[in-house]
Each structure stands twice: as structure tokens, then as C-alpha cells.
Chain A
Amino acid sequence: MKNSLLIIILLAAVLFSSSQASGKDLQQQLTDESMIEKAIRRGRLKIGMSTFVPWAMKDKNGKLTGFEIDVAKRLAADIGVKAEFVPTQWSGIIPALITGKFDIIIGGMGITPKRNLKVNFTNPYDYTGMSLVASKKLAEGFDSLDDFNKPDIIIAVRMGATSAAAVKKYMPKAKLRQFDDESQAVQELLNGRAHAMVSSAPLPAFQALKYPDRLFLPLKENFTKEPIAFAIRKGDFDSCNFLNNWISVATSEGWIQERKHYWFETDDWQNRIK
């Protein structure tokens, strides 16, 4: 009895003293704990990403390359640290960030309110949109979203991506079939088991170019517009400030637009992959 009383008093004392930390200490502590500060101390920025052509992919030599890889490498260089990539499955990338498997997601992640409740997003540095590629055989003559919004239509998407949400919103009657990555979704379409495949541009256009006799683009333009941003853990405003300003610097220089043009509008990089 005496012992437990003593323990309670001790615990209360510890709690009290820790809550006494002054405002100045707290500010210092927050600064030290910020992701960027930690990365500088470690000398490495750990970046979570997932393979997605042409955002991030492996080249012939097994090295990562792509739009997001360029962005991440420049960001790390500007901080003065080494970029360390942690390839992660897209469906588990947010839990992996929250549990500290890496510092930041740089992987073409679209801002959605639902995701934003779990992680913090920077200002957007890029915009993408959902685009749709369809099977010539199954979806002949289709040319609007309404044509696809029917109960007997099957649409393939990547699991955990915003494409599933876009399909549910714009084609709620269609049946959704989800796969772990885009290549499987495209294969489903090529095998004639799905009418269409939805994914971030420009992947559907690339696929239509690659299989002109089997696939086509029924819609002229993307049917959604999504802001793309870096995602970091909640509560880290110092890093958010740094990243936002880095984005405005890189955008003002025209560097981001130039990289985007290279990866999305040219195919000079194609021979580096296969």
C-alpha cells in the first residue's frame, strides 16, 4: 500500500515536471524533431515511392528513374543530403509513412480530403488527371463517360489509387475490378475481360499507342483534374514550410515544367527502360 502510494506520487511528479517545459524549449524541440532536420542529421532523405510509368520506374541497370525520381533527387540535393528510395506497394504507402518507414512520399500522390486527414500535403507542384483507355472489341463506338456508366461494363484500376474513386464518382453503375498494379489492369483489358482501364494520364494514352489494333481512347481529354503534392507525417509544419517554398522556387525556375515535358510529352527515355 505504502509502495503504490509512493509510485503514484513519483508518477505525478514526473508528469508535472515534463508539462513544465517552457515555450522556448518546446519550440526548439519541435524544430529538432522536424523531418528535414532529422534527414540532415542522418545525411539521408528516405523517400517512399511506388513504380508507376513514367513517374518512377526501374531502368535497364536496375536504377530508379522517372519524373518523381528527378524531383526527389533535386530536393535531396537542395537539402544537402543523399536521396534514399524505399520502393513500397502503393496500397500500403500511407500506413508505411505514418509508421516511419520513410520520411516523405514523392510518388505522384494526388491530394484527397480523405488522405489529408491522415497525412499532411504540401502545395501542389503538378496536376494530373484521370484518363480512360478502352478495348476496341468490347467498347466499340463508346465516346462518353455515360457509355461506360452501365451495370454490365467492367473497368480495371489499380488498387488504392484515386482512379477507383474517380470511377465510382463518374461511372457509379459500372463494375470495378482492382489490381495491385497497372500492368495487371492493362493485361485484363488486353485479354478482353474488362471494357476499359482508368489511370492517371499519360499511361492510358501510352497503352493506346502501344496496342493500336486492340485499344483506343474514347475520351478526348482527361475527365478529372488532381493536384499532386508531397505527403509527410502530420504535425510537422517546419518541413511543410520548407517543401512549399522549395516547390515555388523550382516552379519559378521552370525546372518542374521542363522535367514534366521530358517525361510526359517526349519518349526520349523509352530506350532506357527496355
Chain B
Amino acid sequence: MTGRTGLNKKIKITPVDYVIIPLIIAGILYTVYRVKTGMHYNWDWSAIPQYLFRYDSETEKWLPNLLMEGLFNTIRLSIWGILFATALGFIMGLFRVSKSLFKRLISGTYVELLRNTPPLVVIFIFYFFFSSQLIPVLSIEDYISSAGESTRHILAFMFGKPSMIPAFISAVITLAIFEGAYITEIVRSGIESIEKGQWEAGQSLGLGRFQQLRYIILPQATGRIIPPLAGQFISTIKDSAIVSVISIQELTFQGRELMSSTYLTYEIWITVALMYLILSASLSFLTGRLDNYMRKNSG
């Protein structure tokens, strides 16, 4: 983004570059060579495409297979995770800058607890202890199995395979709680970055605290919150791989399942990595555009 102004300048190659560039190329070539000769592995890329899409002879249609289904689940998981994390992050972020000690304590504890524990541990605790108590209470399963055909289709589109929905919900909640802690801090720093004078100006106009926040502080803070928030969204996609440990059928889990069946370890890992890269990079590109757009419009 910062390179935009230097785009028209001629790229200069310094003597240091003459040393570094061949070194990098030599490093890559050496690695490829080692992989080809040193590693005892029978490469078989021809098997991979059928795990992305398969031809169903019964319905005579091309259908997404394991890896694409995994990607769709990763997307579902990320979208829901981002939505809930943002909601939670905004509420907790406002609590962080609240005047009430109680609210500050709640949000402070939340942020410190979540930021200082590994996500893997949080996921295990939540999945095995909380969700096994929580999900039966909500009796989601009964609702799903009693739902009509069209409802089930909608549910499948939004949450994945109906039988996996309870597990999916615990995964979304865990992801949202976890990412929410970081979004809380983004929101807090956004609000706190607005000069104190702005609050005072609001006060002098006779606005209450909520009105100051609503009409003066938040409109200015939003511009500062969005870039780091977009970065957090990309993190959420990548972090969603962690929930594979609780057997959510997202991309990483499907990749691992396939590896245990086929032993095509490297081909599958590389394919999975590329799929994540495409997903994250396209979001990254979009947020870059958004960033530019906002910068232009804010003058």
C-alpha cells in the first residue's frame, strides 16, 4: 500500500541485490533438488483433482468432493465466526472504555483470559466441558431432525451437514469468543485514539455520553478500526484450522482424513495450503481496496 507512490519510479538494483537475488534462487533450487532426490517419496499429483471435484454418475453432475466441501465449511465457519466475534468485540470494546468499573472489569477479564491462553486449550475446554452441557439444553438436534425438507436445505447451506451442526455451533462459538478478544482490543484502541478534546467538545454541546459516542467518537474511530479489523478477519480464516482438532469437517480436517486414507501426505498438504492462500489472499486484496477507498473518501 505504501508502494503506491513509488510505483512510477524506476526500480534500482544495488550491489547488495546482486548478491541476495542469486542466493535466494540457489536456495530454492537446492530445496527442490533435495526434495526430488533426498526425500524418499513417490509423488502422485494425478490423484488430487478428483478430491476437489468428482463426477457423480447417478445424477450426471459434477459435485464438490472432500477438499472443496472442506473449503466451504471453512468459509461458513469463518463468516459466522467473524460475525459473532465482531458483535462480541464491539460490545466488549465499548465496555473497555466504559465509565462503569463493573463493565471494565468484565471486559478486562475476558480479554486477558483469552489472550493469555493458547487457542487450542480454549477449544478443548469449551468443546468437551461447556458445549456438551450447553448444546443439549438448546435441543438443536431435535429441531433439526424435525425440520422440513426446505428448512434442512437452508440449514445445510448456512451451517453444513445437518448432523454436524451441534459440533459446528461449538466451533463457531469458540472461534468467536477467541477472535472477539482481539477485536475488543482493536475497538478499544480505536476509540481511545480519538483526542480527548472531541469528547469535551461533545460535552460542551450538551450531549450525553452515549450521544458523544454515537455522533462524535464512533464515526471518527470507525475509520481507524477498519484496517486492523480486516487483518483480524484474515487471521480468523487461518485460525479456523485449529478447530480441526475437535473434528469439525473443515479444510484442514478433511485434508488430514484424506491423508490417512491415501498417504499422499505432501500433495494434500500443499493443495490445502494453496486453497487457504487463495481464500485469504482474495480477502486481503479486497481489504486493500477498501482501505484505499476509505483513504480517498476521508480526504
Contacts and interface: CB of A to CB of B under 8 A. Distances in A.
Given A92-B246, A181-B256, A60 B132 contact: no
B261 A214 contact: no
Q: How large is the interface on A (under 10, 10 to 19, 20 to 34, 35 or more residues)?
A: 35 or more
Nearest to A89: B247
23 contacts: A46-B163, A50-B260, A53-B261, A58-B257, A60-B50, A62-B66, A86-B163, A86-B164, A89-B247, A95-B128, A96-B247, A99-B128, A101-B167, A180-B256, A181-B260, A183-B260, A183-B262, A184-B265, A191-B40, A191-B41, A211-B40, A214-B40, A273-B262
A186 B145 contact: no
B262 A87 contact: no
B281 interface: no
Contacts of A88: 247
B54 A62 contact: yes
A86 B128 contact: no
User: Which of B50, B245, B256 has most A Cβ within 10 Å?
Assistant: B256
B47 interface: yes
A190 B54 CA distance: 31
A183 B259 contact: yes
B259 A84 contact: no
B54 A57 contact: no
Interface of A: 42-44, 46, 50-53, 57-58, 60-62, 84, 86-89, 92, 95-96, 99-101, 180-184, 186-187, 190-192, 211, 214, 273-274
Contact of A51 (B39, B163, B261, B265): B261
Given A88-B247, A101-B167, A62 B40 contact: no
A84 B166 CA distance: 14
A87 B261 CA distance: 13
Given A96-B247, A183-B265, 18 more contacts: A42-B141, A50-B260, A51-B260, A53-B260, A58-B66, A62-B51, A62-B66, A87-B247, A87-B253, A89-B247, A92-B246, A96-B128, A99-B129, A100-B132, A181-B259, A183-B262, A183-B263, A186-B263
